[in-house]
Amino acid sequence: MMQPVQVGESVSRKVRRVVRNALIDMRFGPPLAVVYLRDRAQSNCDYRELEHAFSGRLDEADVLVDVGCGAGRVINHWLRSGVGSHIYGLEIDERMGAITKFRLRRRQDVSIVIGDAISNLPADGTVFFLFNPFDESTTRRFATAVLELAHAADRCVRVVYLNCKHLAVFEDHPEFEIEMVPHGPGAPATLQALAVITVGDRQGAKLAEL
Ligand SMILES: C[S@@+](CC[C@H](N)C(=O)[O-])C[C@H]1O[C@@H](n2cnc3c(N)ncnc32)[C@H](O)[C@@H]1O
């Protein structure tokens, strides 16, 4: 990612953040900033954001899906956290998808699927992560696909939505329960808005007919 100085972030903090991200990346391959050098319009998450987003939310049984996985930093984070029974990365950009697939080729617990995420949502997914990959109409298609998937599987599905610009799409549908996650005391001012969206009851109640 081309990592701009975020609003409210000093240069020294930015340097520390970029170095920390690179050091964590290197447990799983080269620093991911290298992958983004050729496409500066693309971006990826910061590990600090991911720690905030997922802390205490995932368990070993979850099937984790990064919707628009880019170079795969979110997948790195899940691998280092030891959560999830399987991890999917869905990426429409063929070059980016191929690089990520090659980097993670030895991981039996990771599948990278190249193509449109909405046409390829894994039926066994339980947690879907979005770092604002879509415009409003695509977010609407995604929300419909998640509802269909939850109903077909007859179980709870969660969407963890960072920088949730099109949250209104989910608010429009009564089956989605939305929790805005507070940043907590002492959190850096640079953290982005985070919503956890649930369809279906986590306790296992059956879903209504669509
Ligand atoms: C902002 S990046 C997020 C990367 C990664 N999830 C992260 O947080 O570090 C969004 C990614 O979504 C991908 N994308 C956009 N539309 C997509 C679609 N319809 N299907 C799959 N990937 C898509 C883009 O190519 C880009 O790599």
Render pLDDT for 2-30 as a digit per residue (tens, 0 to 9).
454 566 678 898 899 999 999 999 999 99
pTM tops 0.85, yes or no: yes
Whole-number Å distance between alpha carbons of 56 and 45: 19
Whole-number Å distance between alpha carbons of 40 and 70: 12
Locate the domains of the chain by residue range: 45-199
The answer on pLDDT for 209 being more than 50 is: no
- Cα-to-centroid distance, 54 and ligand 1 (Å): 18
pLDDT of 20 reads 96
Nearest Cα residue to atom 7 of ligand 1: 44
Whole-number Å distance between alpha carbons of 12 and 150: 44
* Nearest atom in ligand 1 to 66's CA: 6
In this structure, the residues whose C-beta lies within 6 A of any atom of ligand 1 are: 42-45, 66, 68-70, 73-74, 90-93, 96, 116-118, 131, 133-134
Helix (H) or strand (E) holding 128: strand 127-131
Superfamily of domain 45-199: Vaccinia Virus protein VP39 (3.40.50.150)
pLDDT of 1 reads 44
Q: Label residue 202 by pLDDT band (50, 70, 90).
A: low
